A = this chain, B = another copy of it.
Amino acid sequence: MTRVLVVDDDPTLVRALVVNLRARHFEVETASDGGTALRRAASHPPDLVILDLGLPDLDGLEVVAGLRGWTDVPIIVLSARDTQWAKVDALDAGADDYVTKPFGMDELLARMRASLRRAMPTPSAPVVTTDAFTVDLAARRVVRDGAPVRLTPTEWHLLEVLVRSPGKLVTHAELLRDVWGPAYVAQSNYLRVYLAQLRRKLELDPARPTHLITEPGLGYRFEP
């Protein structure tokens, strides 16, 4: 089932969208402000985002940027502003399409289909597999030798950040910021401890890791 995240602070419009999308067999989640939208998208990655630019807390473009920081999920922007520059700004910020209000529901649905069709070949890799274990980001689940692996919340969060950038080096600061919060970028003891635990649970030979690689002095890297 295709999951859609609707971000809008107008309850009437949200209700109309929810009803129409549910009727088309989409799974719909909603958020009424930017902060909630970012959190909800992170905890429960959607297949498509419909984003109203007029939000109470964040600028809509900041939400686009926040999402684009870690995901390629298609984003369709809704806005009452019909100027060329508004469209250029939103599209260049990373949005896939820009629909001006008022809009026809059938047109929006067609644009959703077009965006989803285009995004399909790159299914945002919700499942990553190595020769030792399989990580299902959507289901928040790790399987090794056919059996699920028990991970603590912190362990999972750390693994998630690494797996989201396969092959790329993730610095100490990035990991600490994403998992523990911006205040912990100095501490570096956490990483050593939790990387060791992840390796103990996931690597075939924890003493000689082949997937959770340490780059001395810089950070760590997930190798698929």
Chain A residues close to B by CB (< 8 Å):
72, 74, 84-85, 87-88, 91-92, 94-97, 104, 106-107, 109-111, 113-115, 117-119, 121-122, 138-141, 152-153, 156, 167-169, 215-218, 221
Contacts and interface: CB of A to CB of B under 8 A. Distances in A.
Given A153-B218, A216-B153, A218-B153, A138 B168 contact: yes
19 contacts: A72-B121, A84-B104, A84-B106, A87-B107, A87-B111, A88-B106, A88-B110, A92-B110, A94-B117, A96-B118, A115-B118, A118-B119, A121-B122, A138-B168, A139-B168, A141-B168, A141-B169, A141-B221, A153-B215
Nearest to A171: B140
A111 B91 contact: yes
A85 B106 contact: yes
A136 B113 CA distance: 32
Identical copies in the complex: 2
A94 to B, nearest CB: 8
A153 B217 contact: yes
A169 B148 CA distance: 13
A169 B140 contact: yes
B169 A139 contact: yes
Contacts of A140: 168-169, 215, 218
B91 A113 contact: yes
A97 B168 CA distance: 33
> 5 tightest A-B contacts by CB?
A84-B104, A140-B169, A153-B217, A91-B110, A88-B110
Contacts of A97: 97, 114
Given A94-B117, A97-B97, 10 more contacts: A84-B107, A91-B110, A91-B113, A91-B114, A92-B110, A92-B114, A95-B114, A115-B118, A138-B168, A140-B169
A216 B152 CA distance: 7
Nearest to A105: B84
Contacts of A122: 121
A85 to B, nearest CB: 7
Contacts of A94: 117
